[in-house]
Structure 1
Amino acid sequence: MFNNLHLNNCLQIAKKKMRGYLVLRQFSAICLLVFMVCSFSLSHAADEISYDINILGIENAEFNENSSTFEEASILKNRSGAPFVSVANLRSNINADVEILEKILRAEGYYNGLVEPQFMRNDNHFSISFQVKPGPVYSYGKIEVIFTGNSVDDEISRNINDALIINEGETARAVPVIISERNIANSLPKYGFSFAGEVDSDIIVDHREQVLNVTFSADPGTRRRMGNVKFEGLSSVKEEYLRKFIIWPKDSYYEQRHVDQLRNRIIESNLFSGVNIDVVPDGEDHADIVINHIEAKHRTIGTSVSRQTKLD
């Protein structure tokens, strides 16, 4: 009886060990399978992701410029460096190109355009398409120039408005707004505002009327008169000779063309290798002209040069 009992105990122990061994083998097999799957996934992810791009919806000739701009600006089309190793990285660049396309559309007057990205996957190659729905072309609505700080008289205001290159009813493109903004900034010094502030543009899109209302704001500063002219860096050239180049009327308002013409006359004298002109405020209502000269080597000024120098 003892032997039977002992035998039964041994059998029970053996069965438990066998069950443990089987469980261990099953667990090992599962781990091996997981390792193989992970190794395959990592190896597959390490492969370079390739793609092609297709733009749909703007095939007509009127969109040729938009397409060309996208070719130059697209992140995906101009990407260089390390290849993509994840779909998330590729998707991020797709979204960036969507924003670029939408900006290009707005710049050409399509302020209600829509770009929908789609892609199909074949192994590690992606066929990417951007479905573009431009929508209607918006036009310029109300266009206004306002002056902050100091005011300007009506004639100057009309001249500043004439510098704009946008008109109500025209296609609301972005570049003409930028050029008009720059033209205002360049026009103010022509009328005595030598230290005008920056020019800003406030754009309001009216989707209901499909127009772009543009308001330019400019701080002209104080209107100044031509002040003193100071010559610096002179050695052999006499200041009295250079003052003959100053021909604007006394006490006239500052005009940038006066400064430009003075610079040209000095340069054309061939007496200097370099001329730098600074305009600095003098009091509340004058602008001084400070001219820094670098005299040319081995040159002197005599009566013959004075006679040959042509003054406007």
Structure 2
Amino acid sequence: MGAAPQQSPPAAPVPATQQMPDPAADQPIVPEAEFDKALPPLSSDINAPLEPMALEPVGTLPPPPVTPATGVVAATPKSAQPAPSGISSAAGTPTTPQDVSAELDRPLPPLATFDSTPFVTVADKTEKSPEIRYDTVVNGLDKVGLLDEFRAHSVLKKSGKAANAAVVSARAHEDEELAGRVMRSMGYYDGTAVATIETIPNEQGRVRAIVNATPGKQYHLGSVKVVADPTVPPDLIENALALKPGDPIEAGRVQGSEANVALVLPQNGYPFSKVGQRDILLDEQTLTGAYTLPVDIGARSSFGGFTTTGKLAFDAHHVGVLSRFKPGEIYDSRKVDDLRQALIATGLFSTASVEPVKTDRVGPDGTQQVDLLVRQVAGPKRSLAVSGGYSTGEGFKLEGSWTNRNLFPPEGALILNVTGGSQEQGAGATFKRSNAGKRDRTFSFGVAADHSNYDAYNAFTGTVFARLSYDSTPIWQKKFTWALGAELTGTNESVYDFGKPGNVRRTYFIAALPGQAQWDTTDSLLNPTKGYRVKLSLSPETSVQGKVSPYIRALTEVSGYYPISDSIVLAGRVRAASIDGISRDDLAPSRRYYGGGGGSVRGYGYQRLGPFDPNGNPVGGRSLNEFSLEARYRFGNFGIVPFFDGGNSYESSIPKGSDMRYGAGIGGRFYTNFGPLRFDVATPLNKRKGDGLIALYISIGQAF
């Protein structure tokens, strides 16, 4: 492409005393194209030094050579540089204006022949750039209690290093602005801050950054005004704002008060309220600020109905079952949050949200009714779970389950489970309806078959059961829970007959009505750190083995948790149990009480505390007493737990408290999102013949 025409620059004025006759005044005007030809060529080398422009024609300028391989324009040799008029070139041939004109007429080289790769300076990576170390001094902020707040966000910090002084200066400038913001956030609006950098004598490569702050006087609220329509009750906003004249104008205090207004209004019937932008007019003479807050409260509202949209897990009717409020009640955002938690606790959603929607309906009390729109995205219905453990006496045990949580909507689950272990094997199926007609109420029905082979007994058992309960969940833990059930069990078991004597097999048919109640004030189901639990279990039962033998099983357990520091929790438990109305020998071995094991007195094998037969095998008893003490020390996701346990089981229906057996040990914990993994090692303190020296327990969850 050709060069664009260049405009002729304006001529410099010539002083009057030096004006000369223009010899070209009578010459014809030179066309613009001819003028362009007379201009010197532009160098393609942008790094070449500028040459002085000669006032007379210059020598011939040969074209720059081009390297064939790369197309890079080579530097013009010194001998080829244009020479002033009247001086010969390197070849000794004088140049003429005609030669220059002919050279300018040549076409420019194509752009593609130029190499546009930027120059790169390769530095020696082994050479380290010199660093500047610095100390930071902050003056003035400690007097008003703002030094810690400043240091929490400081760029300089107390000390550090930088690549050069410019970096230290930039950081000091940022901290200078930070000091101003910190002072203004606490009401020191006249505060100033200046940052300086100074060298430290006799310490090369080290400087000191100094931030000098002058807070001045603190401003206080002169007046507080809320611009809003009347509320019910009338002082709702003022009480929630909690700002009064004379309070210091602190940003955190003001913002927290406004956030409280935005929280309290929806809790008291105003779901569509909006807190506007505050205005604070400062008076430099009185050091006060006039505070004004506009609030749009919206219409006072009450609960209406429910609507739902999205990929549904269940319909709007079942959403109403989960709610803890009735239509017509004054709107309360806390009850809406509770409903959202209940939806999450079902485990049926990938996402679920609840939001109020305006309607044109007016309730009997004159409030506007709002419907709750539930946006739901149903999650996967099926899940597979596997758990396992090991303990001395029980051996290895692996349990797996397959669940379809919503096979029978709403919330009708089918659970298939299987157990495999060195001493226990079994399978079962359970139908469970959660939130069955009422929030938090669960109905379950199932069948199970099991084979157990322990030192105490060998049993083949089949069970049909039904249960109605009010349960806790990890998301929504309840203080009071209960359960009522019914069981029909057929079991064939080996039993030691003291009358013959010897082992025989007997078949028992058992009908039971188990019930349980628990009061729980702890802060966690799986890993409590404070509070206590009281549990009572009661089960009237009838055993049919040649004759009908009614009896009652009872168990009471109390556990408590006390934090003595942020990382140490003392935990304790006591347990007592009794069976009344039947002799031990008429009772199926699987229904008797045994002590020992990971959930009982650690250090002893599973079911190995209590009476023994002549062969040295445990036969169980009709009563039990136990206690456990633990010191749970946690550091990060790990923990160490020393413990001390004691207890025994007895042939009598009332625990005697004599012949107590004690065990002690230490455990390790690995804390996960679903609960702690437990590794306990214990030893019996008053060891009997046949007891092992060490017992090991591995499972999920705390011992109690």
With structure 1 as the length reference, what TM-score do the two structures score?
Answer: 0.67
Cα deviation per residue 1:23-71 (whole Å; 9 max; x = unaligned)?
xxxxxxxxxxxxxxxxxxxxxxx643332221123444x52xx111222
1:54 corresponds to which residue? Answer: 137
Cα deviation per residue 1:202-233 (whole Å; 9 max; x = unaligned)?
22222211123322222223333322113566
2:23 corresponds to which residue? Answer: none
The verdict on how the C-alpha distance between 1:157 and 1:183 changes in structure 2, with shifts beyond 3 A counting, is: farther
The verdict on how the C-alpha distance between 1:78 and 1:145 changes in structure 2, with shifts beyond 3 A counting, is: farther
Q: In 2, Cα distance between the equivalents of 1:247 and 1:51?
A: 61
Q: In 1, Cα distance between the equivalents of 2:212 and 2:315?
A: 71
Q: In 2, Cα distance between the equivalents of 1:121 and 1:271?
A: 66
Aligned residue runs from structure 1 range 127-146, under 5 A: 127-146=208-227
Amino acid across the alignment from 2:359: G
Structure 2, unmatched stretches of 5+, are 1-128, 361-367, 382-403, 406-412, 414-431, 444-467, 472-477, 481-704
8 Å CA contact 1:110–1:135 kept in 2: the answer is yes
> 1 or 2, which has the higher strand percentage?
2
Q: In 2, Cα distance between the equivalents of 1:241 and 1:92?
A: 61
**Among the aligned pairs, what percent are the same residue?**
20
Give 1:134 deviation, angstroms: 1.8
The verdict on how the C-alpha distance between 1:240 and 1:305 changes in structure 2, with shifts beyond 3 A counting, is: farther
1:13 corresponds to which residue? Answer: none
Structure 2 residue corresponding to 1:85, chosen from 161, 164, 183: 164
Cα deviation per residue 1:121-174 (whole Å; 9 max; x = unaligned)?
356533222222221222222112223xxx333x34511111123322122211
Q: In 1, Cα distance between the equivalents of 2:190 and 2:358?
A: 51
2:649 corresponds to which residue? Answer: none
* Structure 1 stretches of at least 4 aligned residues deviating more than 6 Å after TM superposition: 78-81
**1:227 corresponds to 2:304:** yes
The verdict on how the C-alpha distance between 1:166 and 1:280 changes in structure 2, with shifts beyond 3 A counting, is: closer
8 Å CA contact 1:227–1:282 kept in 2: the answer is no
2:247 corresponds to which residue? Answer: 170
Q: In 2, Cα distance between the equivalents of 1:192 and 1:117?
A: 52
Q: In 2, Cα distance between the equivalents of 1:100 and 1:80?
A: 18
Structure 1, unmatched stretches of 5+, are 1-45
Q: In 1, Cα distance between the equivalents of 2:286 and 2:138?
A: 29
8 Å CA contact 2:137–2:158 kept in 1: the answer is no
8 Å CA contact 2:138–2:211 kept in 1: the answer is yes
Q: In 1, Cα distance between the equivalents of 2:337 and 2:142?
A: 48
Structure 1 residue corresponding to 2:190, chosen from 101, 104, 112: 112
RMSD: 3.5
Q: In 2, Cα distance between the equivalents of 1:127 and 1:185?
A: 46
2:174 corresponds to which residue? Answer: 96
Aligned length: 255
Structure 2 residue corresponding to 1:195, chosen from 266, 272, 275: 272
1:160 corresponds to which residue? Answer: 237
The verdict on how the C-alpha distance between 1:157 and 1:92 changes in structure 2, with shifts beyond 3 A counting, is: farther
1:209 corresponds to which residue? Answer: 286
8 Å CA contact 1:72–1:78 kept in 2: the answer is no
**Structure with the greater alpha carbon radius of gyration:** 2
Structure 1 residue corresponding to 2:371, chosen from 264, 288, 295: 288
Q: In 2, Cα distance between the equivalents of 1:135 and 1:240?
A: 63
8 Å CA contact 2:306–2:371 kept in 1: the answer is yes
Give 1:178 deviation, angstroms: 0.8
8 Å CA contact 2:357–2:373 kept in 1: the answer is no
Amino acid across the alignment from 2:293: F
Give 1:101 deviation, angstroms: 0.5
**1:68 corresponds to 2:148:** yes
Partner SS, residue 291 of structure 2? strand
Amino acid across the alignment from 2:153: A
8 Å CA contact 2:306–2:319 kept in 1: the answer is no
1:18 corresponds to which residue? Answer: none
Amino acid across the alignment from 1:85: N
Amino acid across the alignment from 1:193: Y
2:620 corresponds to which residue? Answer: none
Q: Which of 95-104 and 240-249 deviates more?
A: 240-249
The verdict on how the C-alpha distance between 1:305 and 1:131 changes in structure 2, with shifts beyond 3 A counting, is: closer
Cα deviation per residue 1:61-87 (whole Å; 9 max; x = unaligned)?
x52xx1112222112228989x34354
Q: In 1, Cα distance between the equivalents of 2:172 and 2:306?
A: 59
The verdict on how the C-alpha distance between 1:234 and 1:53 changes in structure 2, with shifts beyond 3 A counting, is: closer
Q: In 1, Cα distance between the equivalents of 2:197 and 2:340?
A: 60
The verdict on how the C-alpha distance between 1:266 and 1:72 changes in structure 2, with shifts beyond 3 A counting, is: closer
1:39 corresponds to which residue? Answer: none
> 1 or 2, which has the higher helix percentage?
1
The verdict on how the C-alpha distance between 1:227 and 1:158 changes in structure 2, with shifts beyond 3 A counting, is: same
The verdict on how the C-alpha distance between 1:219 and 1:127 changes in structure 2, with shifts beyond 3 A counting, is: same
Q: In 2, Cα distance between the equivalents of 1:294 and 1:80?
A: 53
The verdict on how the C-alpha distance between 1:252 and 1:47 changes in structure 2, with shifts beyond 3 A counting, is: same
2:450 corresponds to which residue? Answer: none
The verdict on how the C-alpha distance between 1:139 and 1:282 changes in structure 2, with shifts beyond 3 A counting, is: closer
8 Å CA contact 2:307–2:316 kept in 1: the answer is no
2:425 corresponds to which residue? Answer: none
Amino acid across the alignment from 2:149: T
Q: In 1, Cα distance between the equivalents of 2:158 and 2:138?
A: 15
Q: In 2, Cα distance between the equivalents of 1:127 and 1:271?
A: 60
Partner SS, residue 193 of structure 1? coil
8 Å CA contact 2:269–2:300 kept in 1: the answer is yes
The verdict on how the C-alpha distance between 1:256 and 1:91 changes in structure 2, with shifts beyond 3 A counting, is: same
Q: In 2, Cα distance between the equivalents of 1:135 and 1:216?
A: 27
8 Å CA contact 1:181–1:200 kept in 2: the answer is no
Q: In 2, Cα distance between the equivalents of 1:118 and 1:266?
A: 58
